[in-house]
Structure 1
Amino acid sequence: MAAPLMESTAATALRSVMLRVRQAVDRSGTRPEKVRVVAVSKTKPVSLIRQVYDAGHRFFGENYVQEIIEKAPLMPKDIEWHFVGHLQSNKAKMLLEAVPNLAMVEGVDNEKIANHLDRAVTSLGRDPLKVLLQVNTSGEASKYGIDPSGCVRLAEHVKLRCPNLKFSGLMTIGMRDYSSTPENFRTLLNCRLEVCKVLGMPEDQCELSMGMSSDFEQAIEMGSTNVRIGSTIFGPREYAKMKPN
Structure 2
Amino acid sequence: MSAPAVEGSAAAAFRSVLTRVLQAAERSGRSPEQVRVVAVSKTKPASLLRQVYDAGHRCFGENYVQEIVEKAPQLPVDIEWHFIGNLQRNKVKSLLAGVPNLHMIESVDDVKIANHVDRVVASLGRKPLKVLVQVNTSGEESKFGVDPSGCVNLVRHVKLGCPNLIFSGLMTIGMLDYSSTPENFKTLSNCRAEVCKELEIPEEQCELSMGMSADFEQAIEMGSTNVRIGSTIFGVRESKKKDE
Give the TM-score normalised by structure 2: 0.97
Partner of 1:79: 79
Partner of 1:7: 7
Relative to structure 1, is the Cα distance of residues 214 and 130 closer, same or farther in structure 2, using a 3 angstrom cutoff?
A: same
Aligned-residue RMSD, C-alpha: 1.1
Partner of 1:149: 149
Which structure 2 residues correspond to residues 21-100 of structure 1 after superposition, within 5 A? 21-100=21-100
Cα shift readout 1:154-210 (whole Å, capped 9, x = no counterpart): 000000000000000000000033675110011000000111111110001100000
Consecutive unaligned residues in structure 1, runs of 5 or more: none
Deviation for aligned residue 1:242: 4.2
Query: 3-state SS of the aligned residue for 1:130?
Result: strand
Task: Please say if 1:18 is aligned against 2:18.
Answer: yes
Partner of 1:216: 216
Deviation for aligned residue 1:69: 0.2
Letter in 2 for 1:244: D
Consecutive unaligned residues in structure 2, runs of 5 or more: none
Query: 3-state SS of the aligned residue for 1:51?
Result: helix
Cα shift readout 1:205-230 (whole Å, capped 9, x = no counterpart): 10000000000000000000000000
What percent identity do the matched residue pairs reach?
Answer: 75
Deviation for aligned residue 1:63: 0.1
Partner of 1:244: 243
Give the TM-score normalised by structure 1: 0.97
Task: Please say if 1:136 is aligned against 2:130.
Answer: no
Cα shift readout 1:49-101 (whole Å, capped 9, x = no counterpart): 11111111100000000000000011000000000000001111110000010
Task: Please say if 1:106 is aligned against 2:106.
Answer: yes
Count of equivalent residues: 244
Runs of 4+ displaced beyond 6 Å: none
Cα shift readout 1:85-119 (whole Å, capped 9, x = no counterpart): 00001111110000010000001000010001100
Relative to structure 1, is the Cα distance of residues 242 and 230 closer, same or farther in structure 2, using a 3 angstrom cutoff?
A: farther
Cα shift readout 1:135-169 (whole Å, capped 9, x = no counterpart): 00000011001100000000000000000000000
Deviation for aligned residue 1:243: 4.8
